[in-house]
Amino acid sequence: MNTDSTHNQNISKENKKSIRKIIVESPIFRNLSRRKLISFISLFGGITAFSFLFVEDTSLRAYITGDVTEVVSPLDGMVSRSTVQTGQLVSANELLIEINGSKRSKDLLETTILERDTILTKIDRLQPELSFLIESSISSIKDDLHKTKSLIISLENDFLKHKSLKELIDFETNKDAISLSDRLTNDSAYNTLKSELEYQKRLENKLKMQLASSSIYLADSTGKLPISAKSLSQHDLQISNHRLSLYELNDELNIKNREIMQIKSRNSFKFAPNFTGLVLARKANSGKEVSKGTSLLTLVNCESLRVEALFEPRKVRHLNPGDSLSVFDKINNKKYNGVLLSKQWESIDLSELKFSSVIFPTSKSERVRLHIAVPKHEIGSNCPYGQPVRVEV
């Protein structure tokens, strides 16, 4: 009793009034009668007990946080590779886990690959046939073109002779010098040679077009008919049919390749983060059967670390985004230069707070969460996610 009396005498009148106000206005004691309130205080050692509870500074709860990624399996299968442990630092693009799909997916993949191989076999057989037809066509056209050119040269020589003779006859003043029979014979030969020469020249142009068309078939891989296809021979139309068949097979091949890629994406899963991270939890080991949606890994992006701090509203009303704040790392004995990113008002469940926070009339259930940026080079490379710090306002 003497000890309690001495301690009570050391408490100033101002503190006593404050404590009484706290007790009366606290949501816990507000509805208690005066007699019950006094009994409760006596049960816990009176004013001394409450003074002890007020020692903690409840205005600050701060820690290092960051963006957390939860990796889940997108398919049913088995973990074929898991290379990390909880608490391990991992590099960007490092393969952390791999899953192979179920037997059903594997069977579907094998069937589709077999269908693709069948198409490839048809293409491999058709390509040499097509090449042979094209080369034969080109060779035949070249021979015909050579013969036509030779014939044109011969016809031109004969035509020039009859043309010269016709000009002499036409300019001859003595019409009786040349018989009518000779004149008619020469005119007939002249007209025949002229018609034949014109035909052979048209044939030469046609052969040139066929040669060009065949060359297009030989170089083109689309299988589509060129504009000059109307001039193609029956042999060239056969080439065109082969070419179109090859085009259709290539189209089927592209479809099968896309199907294989889709099945593989559903049949396997690999995860490699695009950031430097810290593994918070490894939930699947190699050889484990997993279902779609099963959690595999939890890791934090070490490049996104920042500080979050909870304050009583009255202590941070004056702060605005962009203000500088001091962050103290008590574990590593460091001080960081932080910048306030944002303020967020929150309602806190009183049952989750410490008893000293509950009985503060100013705190009630409201808190302000500060998001504070800290330079990456100051935090260090060990990724201290979750580490408690102290923020000074």
Q: 87: pLDDT confidence band, cut at 50, 70 and 90? A: very high
Q: 377: pLDDT confidence band, cut at 50, 70 and 90? A: confident
pLDDT value, residue 320: 92
Model pTM score: 0.48
Yes or no: say if 305 and 383 are a contact pair by the CB < 8 Å rule: yes
Q: Which domain does 122 fall in, by range?
A: 105-266
Q: 350: pLDDT confidence band, cut at 50, 70 and 90? A: low
Residue 55: CB partners within 8 Å, gap ≥ 6? Answer: none
pLDDT value, residue 175: 60
C-beta atoms surrounding 316 within 10 Å? 22
Same-domain check for residues 133 and 211: yes
The residue among 34 and 136 whose pLDDT is bigger is: 136
Same-domain check for residues 109 and 252: yes
Same-domain check for residues 120 and 173: yes
Angle between helices 103-171 and 180-219 (to 10 degrees): 160
pLDDT value, residue 230: 46
Same-domain check for residues 157 and 121: yes
Same-domain check for residues 194 and 251: yes
Q: Determine which of 37-46, 176-185, 264-273, 278-287 has the lowest per-residue pLDDT on average.
A: 37-46
Number of domains in the chain: 4
pLDDT at 340 over 90: yes
Same-domain check for residues 39 and 144: no
The residue among 267 and 293 whose pLDDT is bigger is: 293
For the chain, the average pLDDT equals: 76
pLDDT at 81 over 50: yes
What is the identity of the amino acid at 350? L
Same-domain check for residues 253 and 193: yes
The Cα 221–Cα 247 span in angstroms is 8
For residues 288-309, b (16+ Cβ closer than 10 Å) or e, as one string? eebeeebebbbbbbbeebbbbb
